[in-house]
Amino acid sequence: MTALTAPLDRLRWTLTDGLTLVGRELARLRQEPGQIVAALLFPAVMVVLFGYVFGSAIRVPGGGDYREYLMPGLFAMVTFSAWLGVMTRTASDASRGVMDRFRSMPMARLAVPFGQTGADLLTGLLMLTVMVTAGLLVGWQPHRGLIPTTQAFLLMILLRYALSWVGVYVGLAVKNDQIADALVPLGLPFTMLSNAFVPTGGMPPWLRLLADWNPVSALTAATRELFGNPGAPSATAAWPLAHPVTTVLLWSATLLAIFVPLSLRAYTRQGR
């Protein structure tokens, strides 16, 4: 029997148990291959749908190809879907008693949230790969070389990880997979209300204010800048759009600082 006493031991078991739970998510996907196909097809469909349907009507400010303009927006959209998936899975574990079984076992306490967010990171990487492939096929490409391109992807991954902790917390808070499922459609308007698909310049002022300060816009602007894609913010743009990389880093740090401790506390205290 393992007595989780020494801190080093505890760290090792948190990692081992976390990896076991990442393996669980992968095994779940293996059981339902349709789900992977759907999850991977969705971004590819979005590329074609938005790229050609919207692309025929929208003019990019400052000129440039709409599909080049669109791809960073779709990357942002996929990034922001992270918390929804994690929330749904956490809520389902909490409502079905799987969480209680974990908590009645001599396993590392923190492994469950770390495992869940770690698994989401893998899913996210897979989805990004599909998106990149689809993007390259429709004519998108990064223009500024290896280092800025890498930075753009790291930025997306960082924000995705931070967002997945929001998902853990909300999932533990709602504790009911039906409520969690009902929250999922809220993700779309949140993404749409940004510069991801259309420039914010033409929106009425109040809506534009929301869109400019939406973190989705900041991530989109940041990756547009790092990929060298069209749609650079004008000189009069709101602060988050004028400094998109800093804004995304600030958002990530803030979300992690708030939601990691909140989630860990909610997990250990649940049901007490």
Partner 1 sequence: MPEPIVLAEGLRKSFGDTHALRGLDLTIPKGTICGVLGPNGAGKTTAVRILATLSDPDAGHARIAGYDVVRDAGQVRARIGLAGQYAAVDDKLTGRANLRMFARLSHLPRRQAHRRADELLERFGLTDAADRQVAGYSGGMRRRLDLITSLILRPQVLFLDEPTTGLDPRSRGEIWDNIRELVTDGTTVLLTTQYLDEADHLADDIAVVDHGHVIATGTPDQLKATIGDRLDVVLQDPDALNQAATVLKALTTTEPTTTGADRLSVALPGGSLKLADVVRELDRAEVAAADVRLRRPTLDEVFLRLTDRKQTVR
Q: Which residues bind partner 1 (CB under 8 A)?
A: 1-4, 13, 16-17, 20-21, 23-24, 27-28, 31-32, 96-98, 100-107, 111, 271-272
Q: How far apart are CA 144 and CA 135, in angstroms?
A: 16
CB 82, CB 120: distance < 8 Å: yes
Residue 254, both tokens: 């803030």
Q: Exposure pattern of 70-85 as b/e (b: 16+ CB <10 Å)?
A: bbbbbbbbbbbbbbbb
Which CB sits closer to partner 1, 23 or 62?
Answer: 23
CA–CA separation, 257 vs 253, rounded Å? 6
Residue 84 Cβ, how far from partner 1 at the closest point, in Å? 17
Contact 67, 140 (CB under 8 A): yes
CB of 146 to partner 1, least distance (A): 39
Please, what's the largest Cα pairwise distance for the chain?
Answer: 66
Residue 29 or 256: the one with the smaller Cβ distance to partner 1 is 29
Q: Which is nearer to partner 1, 18 or 167 (CB)?
A: 18
Nearer to partner 1 by Cβ, of 98 and 203: the residue is 98
Q: How many beta carbons lie within 10 A of that of residue 185, not counting itself?
A: 9
Closest CB to partner 1 among residues 11, 32: 32
| CA proximity to 66, closest of 50, 44, 79, 77 | 50
Choice between 62 and 97, CB closer to partner 1? 97
Write out the H or E segment, with its range, that includes residue 52.
Answer: none
Q: Where are the alpha helices (DSSP H) in 32-110?
A: 33-48, 66-80, 82-96, 98-103
Half-sphere exposure of 8 (CA within 13 A, CB side): 0
What is d(CA 213, CA 60) in angstroms, rounded to the nearest whole number?
A: 20
**Judged by CB, which is closer to partner 1: 56, or 104?**
104
